[in-house]
Amino acid sequence: MAKAHCPHNMQAESPPPEEIQEGRSRVIIQCRMHPDAIAAHLPSRMRPLVLRGSGLCFLTYRRMRVSPGLLHGPSGETVDHLSFRVAVEFGSSVSTKTGAWVMRRESSSWLESRCGGALQRGVYRQAEFHLKDEPHRMCLHAEADDALTLEFDLEACDGLKGSVFASTREAMRHLVATAGVRPRNRLVPSADRLGIENGRVEAEPMKVLSLRSAFLDDPVLFPPGSVELDSAFRLVPVRTALVPKAVEAPGSQVQPAH
C-alpha cells in the first residue's frame, strides 16, 4: 500500500461538528487480500468470499452525529467509527449466505470502546481522529496511544481504475450483498450501517494518494504481499437535479420552461 505522508496539517484540531457535512464523511477503501490471509481471522463456520481470485477487505470510516445516551454526550456530538471488515460466505453448498466479518473496530468514544471490548465479541480500540473533508479532497489521521493507527489522503477522480470491480455500481451491489455484519455492534448498531440499502446515497470514486494502516501493515497479522490496495470511494447523498419541463408555444419550437 502507498505510504506517503498526508500533505495536510493533520495535527490541527478537528473542525466543529456544525462545519462537518455528515453526508460526505463516509468513506470505503477496498483492498484485495489473499484468501488464506483472511481465513486466518475468521471463525471456523465462515470462509472468504472470493471475487476474481481475491478476497476483499473494506476499511469503512464514518463520522456520525449521535443521540444522547449512556455512551455519548449531548445530542449533536459527533463520533468517529472505523471498521475493518472482510467479505465472507457461510452455510452449506445448497444454501450459501454472504455477509461481512468485522476483524477490528475503532471509535473516538472512550466508553464505547471499553464497553464494546468487555461486553461484546470482537476487537475494539479507542482512537483519536483528525478529519479534513473538502469537496474534492479528504484526509484522515487517526492515532491511539500516541501511535499512528490509520492515515489516508483521498482525491476525487472520474472512475475506478485497476479495481476488481468494473464500476462503482458493481462495488455498491457487492456491498449490499455483504451488508449483514458479524459480530454486530449492539451498542451502536447504526455504526455498522453504510446507508446504501435504501438507495439514498451513491458512490463517488476517490483516488488514494496515500494510505497507511498499522493493522493491515502488520506483517505478523498479514504476511507481506497478502494485502493490495484496490480502490476507494466516498458515499454522498444522491443528487436529485430538477430538470425543467418543456412547453410548446404556438408557432414556435419547444423551449425549456423557466
In a domain? residue 162 = yes
| pLDDT at residue number 15 | 35
In a domain? residue 13 = no
Encode pLDDT of 76-125 as tens digits.
578 888 999 999 999 877 888 898 899 998 888 776 666 655 555 667 78
In a domain? residue 11 = no
In a domain? residue 160 = yes
Encode pLDDT of 173-217 as tens digits.
888 888 777 776 666 656 666 767 666 778 899 999 999 999 999
CATH number at residue 115: 2.40.400
In a domain? residue 26 = yes
Q: What is the domain range of residue 196?
A: 18-256
In a domain? residue 231 = yes
Q: What total number of domains does the chain contain?
A: 1
Cell of residue 118, nine digits: 468487555
In a domain? residue 136 = yes
Residue 195: CB partners within 8 Å, gap ≥ 6?
Answer: 26, 201, 235
**Nearest in space to 185 (alpha carbons), one of 74, 66, 89, 40:** 66
- pTM across the whole model: 0.77
Ramachandran bin of 146, using left for φ above 0, alpha for ψ from -120 to 50, beta for the remaining angles: left
In a domain? residue 10 = no
